């Protein structure tokens, strides 16, 4: 499947934009493997933007959502293994901490090549990835996240995982990871992908996509996320944060992200994406998201009023 499979569900103007501007596939060597990075170069733009997906996501699924800002910013969308077009020697060994390290290394490598300001945009689990990368590298001028799902919050674990899996305490998850962490299973076994979108067709598409939700996911990738301890929000003091949470998200309700956001020391802003589900493609929320990204990669880059 490709981005057009997802773009057909978007409002007309966004669907046209996604088809008119096609990202270029590029590759980055990492730990004996190759990471696929979809790029839409904009040499004259004043900023760069890195789009970070979460579990069962990849660049093709997110391109239709963020293509509206192509040209205003130099866009790059990495595929985190085992998703998308990225290939690594041992996909069953991939853990959440590997994703954090991969993205930190990529941000620093890109900085050596291009010193323009960087906006990190994380979707779903990618919101916490973007948060952690910003905290560790200090390279982001602004952070935008559709969700800030702190796995230290038991309520987050219960909502994110399917069935009883979400109620397993972290010490028991560590045991589970040691026993079966390398086993790769269908993502619907681990998470309720029916709640990805308010549109059942999109949810089915995501669940069946062999590069995304249809790919077999290491059990250890999800258990390691559930056990991960991110940088305390009280210590996150510099990079402005904009939470663009879908207001009608039935999978991970806004209050889960808001209570983490409230603890962040840096300036924060909340933009609720009206009428949007977890995968934010409905109006007017998708335009609210595009306008938020416009403001951050335009003249007001790096400025974020306190919310």
Instruction: Among 52-66, 228-242, 286-300, name the one with the lowest average pLDDT.
Output: 286-300
How distant is the alpha carbon of residue 30 from its chain centre? 20
Q: Judge contact between 208 and 216, C-beta under 8 A.
A: no
Determine which helix (DSSP H) or strand (DSSP E) holds 133, and give its type and residue range. Answer: helix 126-137
Beta strands in the chain (DSSP E): 24-30, 33-40, 48-52, 74-78, 118-122, 140-145, 184-186, 216-218, 241-243, 268-270
Nearest to 63 by CA among 88, 36, 96: 36
Query: What pLDDT does 187 receive?
Result: 87
The answer to whether 82 and 35 are in contact (CB under 8 A) is: no
Across the range 119-133, mean pLDDT stands at 97
The three-class DSSP label of residue 62 is: helix
Residue 141 sits at φ, ψ, to 5 deg, of -80, -25
Q: Tens of pLDDT along 39-53?
A: 999 999 999 999 999
- Tens of pLDDT along 245-286? 999 999 999 999 999 999 999 999 999 999 999 999 999 999
Instruction: Please report where in the chains the tokens 């796995």 appear, as a residue.
Output: 151
Tens digit of each residue's pLDDT (9 = 90 or more) over 218-234:
999 999 999 999 999 99
pLDDT band at 194 (very low <50, low <70, confident <90, very high): confident
- Enter the DSSP assignment of 193: G
Bond into 82 cis (ω within 30) = yes
In whole angstroms, what separates CA 197 from the centre of its chain? 15
Phi and psi at residue 80, to the nearest 5°: -85, 125
Considering only CA atoms, which of 80, 69, 4, 81 is closest in space to residue 40?
69
Q: What is the DSSP letter of 91?
A: G
Question: What does the DSSP 8-state code read for residue 81?
Answer: T
The pair of structure tokens assigned to 181 is: 């962490």
pLDDT at 43: 93
Give the pLDDT band of residue 300 (cuts 50, 70, 90): very low
Domain ranges of the chain: 3-150+232-297
Residue 89 has a CB neighbour count (10 Å cut-off) of 9
Q: Which parts of 57-145 are beta strand (E)?
A: 74-78, 118-122, 140-145
SS3 263: coil
Q: Which two tokens stand for residue 76?
A: 């790059």
Would the pLDDT of 106 be above 60?
Answer: yes
**Domain at 3-150+232-297: CATH code:** 3.40.50.1820
Mean local confidence (pLDDT), 209-217: 93
């Amino acid at each position: 499947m490709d981005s057009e499979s997802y773009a057909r569900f978007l409002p007309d103007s966004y669907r046209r934009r996604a088809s008119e501007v096609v990202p270029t596939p590029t590759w980055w060597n990492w730990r004996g493997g190759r990471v696929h990075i979809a790029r839409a170069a904009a040499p004259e733009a004043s900023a760069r933007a890195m789009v970070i997906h979460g579990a069962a996501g990849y660049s093709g699924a997110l391109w239709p959502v963020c293509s509206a800002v192509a040209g205003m910013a130099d866009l790059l969308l990495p595929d985190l293994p085992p998703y998308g077009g990225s290939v690594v020697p041992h996909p069953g060994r991939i853990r959440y901490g590997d994703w954090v390290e991969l993205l930190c290394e990529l941000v620093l490598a890109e900085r050596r090549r291009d010193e323009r300001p960087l906006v990190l945009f994380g979707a779903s689990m990618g919101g916490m990835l973007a948060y952690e990368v910003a905290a560790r590298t200090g390279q982001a001028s602004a952070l935008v996240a559709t969700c800030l799902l702190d796995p230290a919050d038991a309520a987050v674990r219960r909502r994110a995982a399917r069935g009883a899996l979400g109620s397993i305490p972290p010490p028991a998850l560590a045991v589970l990871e040691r026993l079966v962490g390398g086993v790769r299973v269908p993502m619907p076994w681990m998470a309720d992908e029916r709640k990805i979108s308010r549109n059942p067709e999109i949810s089915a598409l995501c669940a069946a996509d062999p590069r995304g939700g249809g790919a077999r996911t290491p059990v250890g990738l999800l258990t390691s996320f559930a056990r991960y301890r991110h940088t305390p929000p009280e210590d996150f003091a510099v990079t402005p944060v904009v939470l663009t949470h879908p207001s009608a998200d039935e999978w991970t309700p806004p209050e889960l992200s808001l209570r983490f956001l409230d603890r962040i020391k840096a300036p924060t802003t909340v933009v609720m994406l009206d009428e949007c589900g977890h995968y934010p493609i409905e109006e007017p929320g998708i335009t609210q998201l595009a306008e938020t990204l416009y403001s951050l990669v335009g003249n007001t880059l790096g400025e974020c009023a306190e919310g």
